[in-house]
Amino acid sequence: MTTPQALPVKRWPLALILLVVLGVLALTSLPALIRLLSDWYWFSAVGFQSVFVKTLGTKLLLGFGTGLLAFGFFYANLRFSQRGVVPDPLVVNINAKTPKVDVTRLLRLLALPVSGFLAFIVGVSASSQWLVLLQYLNRTAFGVSDPAFGKDIGYYFFTLPGVAAVTAFVLSLTVLTLLMVSPLYLVRGDIVIRGRRITIEPSAERHLGALLAVLFLATAVSLFWVRLPSLLFSGSGPIHGAAYADLTARVPFIYASAVVSIIGAGLIAWGLKSHRLPRFLAVAVVLYLVTGVVGGLYPAAIQRFVVDPNELVKETPFIERHIEATRAAWNLDEVEIRTMSGEASLTLDDIRANSGTIRNIRLWDRGPLLQTFGQLQEIRTYYDFVSVDDDRYMIDGELRQVLLSPRELNSASLPSRTFINEHLTYTHGMGLTLSPVNQVTLEGLPTLFIKDLPPASSVSIGVTRPEIYYGELSNDYVFVNTRQAEFDYPSGDSSATTVYAGVGGVRVNSIFRKLLLAARLGSANVFLNKDIHNGSRVLYHRNIRERAEKALPFLRWDADPYMVVTDEGRLKWFLDAYTTGNRYPYSQPYRDGPNYLRNSVKVLIDAYDGTIDAYIAEPDDPIIQTYAKIFPNLLQPLEDMPDDLRAHIRYPDDLFRAQTELYATFHMDDPTVFYGREDQWQIPSASGTRGEGSRDPYMRHIVMKLPEEASEEFILMTPFTPRGKENLTAWLVARMDGEHYGQLVVYRFPRQSLVFGPTQIVNRIDQDTDVSRQITLWDQAGSDVIRGNLLVIPIEEALLFVQALYLRAEGGRIPELKRVIVAFENRVVMEETLERGLSRLFGGTVLAETGRVLPQLPVTTAGAAATAATVSPAMADLLRQAEDHYQRALDAQRNGDWATYGDEIEQVGSVLRRLRGLLNR
Contacts of 550-557 with CB under 8 Å at 24 or more apart are 550/42, 551/43, 551/46, 551/48, 551/51, 551/612, 551/614, 552/48, 552/51, 552/577, 552/601, 552/603, 552/614, 553/51, 553/55, 554/131, 554/627, 554/630, 555/579, 555/600, 555/601, 556/580, 556/594
Residue 722 CB partners (closer than 8 Å, separation 6+)? 679, 680, 681, 682, 729
Q: Which of 443, 293, 435 is nearest to 369 (CA)?
A: 435
**Burial of residue 273, with CB atoms counted within 10 A of its CB: 0-12 exposed, 13-18 middle, 19 or more buried:** exposed
pLDDT on residue 198: 79
- Give the Cα separation of 761 and 799 in Å (integer): 11
pLDDT on residue 902: 72
Q: Which of 880, 767, 896, 749 is nearest to 828 (CA)?
A: 767
pLDDT on residue 194: 77
Max alpha carbon distance in the chain (Å)?
A: 141
DSSP E strands in 62-143: the ranges are 91-92, 101-102
pTM of the model: 0.86
- Give the Cα separation of 642 and 494 in Å (integer): 39
The residue type found at 869 is A
> Rg (Cα) of the chain, in Å, rounded?
37
- Give the Cα separation of 111 and 106 in Å (integer): 9
Q: Which residues does residue 803 pair with via DSSP β-bridges, in sequence order?
A: 821
pLDDT on residue 860: 31
**Burial of residue 498, with CB atoms counted within 10 A of its CB: 0-12 exposed, 13-18 middle, 19 or more buried:** middle
Residues of the chain with pLDDT under 50: 1-12, 690-693, 850-870
- Give the Cα separation of 429 and 405 in Å (integer): 12
**Burial of residue 331, with CB atoms counted within 10 A of its CB: 0-12 exposed, 13-18 middle, 19 or more buried:** middle
DSSP state, 715?
A: E
pLDDT on residue 21: 62
- Give the Cα separation of 614 and 551 in Å (integer): 10
Q: Please state the φ and ψ torsions of residue 438, each to the nearest 5 degrees.
A: -125, 5
CA dihedral 111, 31, 34, 475 (to 10 degrees): -140
- Give the Cα separation of 152 and 362 in Å (integer): 46
86 and 186 Cβ atoms separated by less than 8 Å = no
456 and 396 Cβ atoms separated by less than 8 Å = no
636 and 612 Cβ atoms separated by less than 8 Å = no
Residue 920 CB partners (closer than 8 Å, separation 6+)? 860, 862, 863
DSSP state, 634?
A: T
DSSP run (H or E) holding 899 = helix 898-919
pLDDT on residue 193: 79
DSSP E strands in 631-782: the ranges are 636-637, 681-682, 700-704, 713-722, 730-735, 744-748
